[in-house]
Structure 1
Amino acid sequence: MKDFLTYHWTLMRANMLSYAPEKKRLFIMSFFMMIQNAMFIVLWGIFFGSVSEVKGWQLEDVARMYGIVAFSVGASLFFFNGVRSIAYRINDGTLDGFITKPRAVLPALLMSSSLPASIGDMAFAPIVWITFGNLAWGEVPLLLFVSLISVVIFLSMTIIIFSAAFWLKGQTRFSEQLFEMLIISSSMILRGQPFGVRLVIFTILPA
């Protein structure tokens, strides 16, 4: 177990150190990611400034939910961005290089790359919770715990989507499109949708 943790901590650390020479670029990318997120929540703030609530939802609820989503997606893509290369590695044969190593294939594959701009997503979460979510500092650990559960759910679903290339040979782009559909479906207004649509989204696609 110790060797397992040491090995994967080394992989994670190597990913983070790879961006050390480009600290300015990393900071700029993360900063603009936070700005992008902030623009979204500011629009909600303007909306709720004229409408106190919508179906029981207030600005605080939206801010807390958005923080959870931002953190979970950011953490998934920062630490495990290799998940998005699974389909490509299956089709071009580079997955074999991971299989021949005397280590667990999936963790090494997931941590084979990192998306540095996602630091902005993770940093944005506690800021939006406290600024717009009317959250006390003592409640932040609870939301972080919920966010970690969200990371597991999001990452698991993403692994399933990109592993579809095992059965759909030569359809690398299909996994990307399915991934994008998952993101889009998570932002759909589900009220009024047929029961079958809601059943799929809340079970097969955990959106």
Structure 2
Amino acid sequence: MSSYNYIIKYIIVGDSGVGKSCLLLQFTDKQFYSGRELTIGVEFGTKFITVDDKQVKLQIWDTAGQESFRSITQSYYRGAAGALLVYDISRRESFEHIPTWLADVRKHANPHTTIMLIGNKSDLDSRKRQVTTEEAKRFAEENDIPLFMETSAKSAENVDEAFVKTAEKVYEKIRAGIFAGNETSGIRLGPTQNSALSEESQAGCCSS
């Protein structure tokens, strides 16, 4: 698709094995591979969505969760308009590490980056759950994380919604003029928006 209004950059962060790559694959390709290998460094995916009648191209960077790749992946935080913090609802340790991931995002990403907390693997038997929905909601509220959702990369539950809801929040900030539109904001104008702005400026200069 060559006609789109905005490019928005996302990052997905969290411990290894929480399902970050599976979320990305489910969102972009509608597929689930249970035997996926751990991400080495970063993986990348794109998808077009519609927000408020605007065509948006999401560029999504899926970062490795291993400590050994921390310094490499942190460079991808810069210029991210959206950040998905992912934990596994059946692995309490992955939830307990979320404050560290959150601190990394707030240190290295744009101060206006929209953050969503995601509890993945909601399809698992409730007996395997180690983190309650209420506890995660409370953490999000106490840490000024505006968005929270539980997802299943396996069943696709709430996967599209997680990416789209984040984009809607980013778009609200674009409309409010919070982002300057430069590279560090994680937002770039697409060809459609550029041509619209060009037409507006030409109309403005010729109307006087």
Structure with the largest fraction of strand: 2
TM norm structure 2: 0.22
**Structure with the higher helix share, 1 or 2:** 1
Q: What TM-score results when the alignment is normalised by the length of structure 1?
A: 0.22
